[in-house]
Amino acid sequence: MADYGTYCSIGRLKSEMRVTGTSDDAALLRVLEAASRHWDAECGRHFYPVTRTVYFDGPPGHVDRRQLWLPEDVLSVSTLKLDLDGDRTYETTLSGSDYELVSVRADQQAPYNRIDLKPRGSRATWPTGRRSIELTGVLGFSDETEASGTIGEDLDASETDVTMTAGHGLTGGETIKVDSEEMYVSAVSTNTLTVVRGVNGTTAATHSNGASVTRRRYARPIEAATALRAARLWRAGQSGFAGEVASPEVGGFAVASASRDEWVLVQPFRTRAY
């Protein structure tokens, strides 16, 4: 299974650059993916949600051992287990009455950045040691979606061409959700989507004709910064301006430094800004 999160669609990028036609769509998608991963690296987080199991070290002895600071954003927890004796067997499962999720940003409920043990829970402290805590849940900055129509056919678990009902408005570079499965849209031809199935920790499944489709949305400043950076990448590749550096990832050029507009947009989302 692969992780996908492109923070601007081909449709939006082409609209902002006033580009028409579809001949460059594959190259534009590569540029958008490069721009999205650039902001992940700069901000120290990813803005798309993904379901996975991760392992954390227990807090060291000189800090409050009722608090577990998380090295990445957590949106929800399905299971939380502890290894109490260092054998990499997570024999103790905590319930929701044992802990609470905490966000250190006052302006939002999620993502969560800390897990605190409750005073009357089953555990007084977190275990120490490497990889002593196992968490399965949804990781990422947000889990926002918006309605984008319905599928126009029954789907089995392996089809990669998805027929949508007319008026969907989807373009390449978007991640869609049908029932509990996420799919990454790599290309669109009228009402037919070419997709990668079962992405971001979800499982490819069957879906019925008429099932609702939603598309992923991301923090609006990150969407805007991705569009700005991708446009600069594209124009640099087309013109070969001085000051740009070769980038095999996008098959052309990469902009060596971000513009002031880009930094203003992304600065609040950098993890060191907390």
Q: Determine what percent of the chain is predicted with pLDDT higher than 90.
A: 80
Give the pLDDT confidence of 67-123 residue by residue, as tens digits: 999 999 999 999 999 999 999 999 999 999 999 999 987 655 569 999 999 999 999
> Is 111 found in the same domain as 190?
no
Shared domain check, 180 and 162 = yes
Q: What is the pTM of this model?
A: 0.87
Decide if pLDDT at 223 tops 70.
Answer: yes
Residues 237 and 189 reside in one and the same domain? no
Domain boundary among 190, 216, 242: 216
Residue 212 and residue 244 in one domain: no
CA 181 to chain centre: 14
Per-residue pLDDT at 264 exceeds 60: yes
Write out pLDDT tens, residues 172-208.
999 999 999 999 999 999 999 999 999 999 999 999 9
pLDDT at position 257 is: 67
Could you give the CA distance from residue 23 to residue 26 in angstroms, rounded to a whole number?
8
Distance separating alpha carbons of residues 70 and 26, to the nearest angstrom: 36
55 and 78 inside one domain: yes
Distance CA(26)–CA(38), nearest Å, equals 19
Least confidently predicted of 57-61, 124-128, 205-209, 246-250: 246-250
Mark whether 156 and 115 lie in a shared domain.
no
Structure tokens at 190: 């009228």
* Structure tokens belonging to residue 42: 């700069």
| Measured distance CA(204)–CA(197) in Å, rounded | 6
pLDDT at 107: 59
Cβ atoms 249, 34 nearer than 8 A: yes
Amino acid at 142: S
**80 and 155, same domain (yes or no):** no
Same domain, 150 and 121: no
Q: Which one-letter amino acid corresponds to residue 137?
A: G
Report whether pLDDT(64) > 90. Answer: no
**Same domain membership, residue 129 and residue 97:** yes
Last residue of a domain, one of 139, 155, 182: 139
Domain that holds residue 158: 145-216
Whether 188 maps to a domain, the answer reads: yes
Residue 4 within any structural domain of the chain: no
pLDDT digits (tens, 9 = 90+) for 36-48: 999 999 999 999 9
Q: Do 77 and 135 share a domain, yes or no?
A: yes
Q: What is the per-residue pLDDT for 237?
A: 74
Domain count, the chain: 3
